[in-house]
Amino acid sequence: MRLGVERLWKRWSDAVRFLLWGLTVALVCFLLYRVIVNNNAPHLVPLSEGGRDSLMTVGVPRGMSDTLVRRDAFDVHFNSGRGIANCAVYELARNELNGTVERSDEFMPDPSVKGCPSPQDYAGCGMDRGHLVPAGDLKWSETAMRQSFLMTNICPMHKALNEGGWAKLEEKVREWTARDSTLLVFTGPVVAEGDTTLTSGRVTVPSAYYKVIMAPCVRPVRVIAFIYPNGHSGGRLRQYAVSVDEVERLTGLDFFPTLPPDEQHRLENTVHLDAWTN
């Protein structure tokens, strides 16, 4: 009888030890998982209104036609001599991604802005009226959606670009916003010598388009830029990634001029695509 009890006690003790060992292994694995996840996930900090406005400043070279047009959800630096913007800039936040406002498709001139073309200037040109600030990012506001169709936010864009690589890049911006909480996005044309105009003669057809993107709430802050030719845009995202310095060289604009010079150099002189895609 005593021998049977001892055997039962030993079996029970072994089972308890095995259970405790399993729980210990599970706890260690859970803690390691939390460490790995926390190391890979971006550390987010809030962005103040003043900090946002400072980072959204764009320096325009002396002599370049530039009228700053402020909308509810974005700003446009409009070039009346070209009939298109130098740059459009906006903030996209995670809580704005699930809006339900429908696309209006009602393109409108802005008579208050000198040199603003009319939708008819694009008639028969064979090109899309391409948004700089995407309508798809403004579904959270009826006013913002309507303002995105003002012609100050529109540029002539080849359909192959507008519906191809450019649309994929805009979708990627939304994915990064969901991850990084907030992005600041700068978009505009790259105008080269010899670029043509639409038949009206009032609107320049750019040879390419740029997009500069900053994740201001992650630490360290990240920046990436892209240049897409205004035409066929097949290939991987990496094919179009460039430094911010390259966009500045081609456009004459100055992004993030309020940052200290050493921080500008860190962010702007190299291509940091891996930090965005990994």
- Tell me: pLDDT of 274 over 90: yes
One domain for residues 252 and 122: yes
Q: Are residues 58 and 120 in the same domain?
A: yes
* 62 shares a domain with 88: yes
Q: Which segments within the chain are labelled E, that is strand?
A: 43-44, 58-59, 67-70, 74-79, 84-93, 128-131, 154-157, 182-190, 208-215, 218-219, 222-229, 241-242, 254-255
- The predicted-structure confidence for 81-104, as pLDDT tens digits, reads as follows 999 999 999 999 999 999 999 998
Q: Compute the chain's Rg from CA coordinates.
A: 26
Residue 218 has pLDDT above 50, yes or no: yes
**Helical (H) or strand (E) element with 237:** none
Does residue 111 sit in the same domain as residue 239?
Answer: yes
Q: Specify whether 52 is located in the same domain as 9.
A: no
The set of catalytic residues is 131
Q: Grade residue 47 by pLDDT with cuts at 50, 70 and 90.
A: confident
Q: Looking at residue 185, what is its pLDDT?
A: 98
Count of the separate structural domains present in the chain: 2
CATH of the domain at 62: 3.40.570.10
The model's confidence at residue 188, banded by pLDDT at 50, 70 and 90, is very high
Nearest to 121 by CA among 105, 107, 135, 132: 107
What's residue 235's pLDDT?
A: 82
14: containing domain: 1-41
pTM of this structure: 0.84
Is residue 254 helix, strand or coil?
Answer: strand
| 77 shares its domain with 10 | no
Q: Give the number of other Cβ atoms within 10 Å of residue 167's Cβ.
A: 14
- Report d(CA 256, CA 122) in Å as an integer: 33
Partners of residue 88 on adjacent β-strands: 76, 187
1 and 103 together in one domain? no
**18 and 140 both lie in a single domain:** no
228/1 Cα distance (integer angstroms): 85
Question: Average pLDDT for residues 178-202, to the nearest whole number?
Answer: 95
Alpha helices in 95-209 (DSSP H): 142-147, 159-162, 165-180
The pLDDT of residue 31 is above 50: no
Alpha carbon of residue 162 to chain centroid? 16
- Please check whether residues 47 and 36 belong to one and the same domain: no
Instruction: Let me know whether 37 and 48 are in one domain.
Output: no
Are both 88 and 26 inside the same structural domain?
Answer: no
Do 156 and 75 share a structural domain?
yes
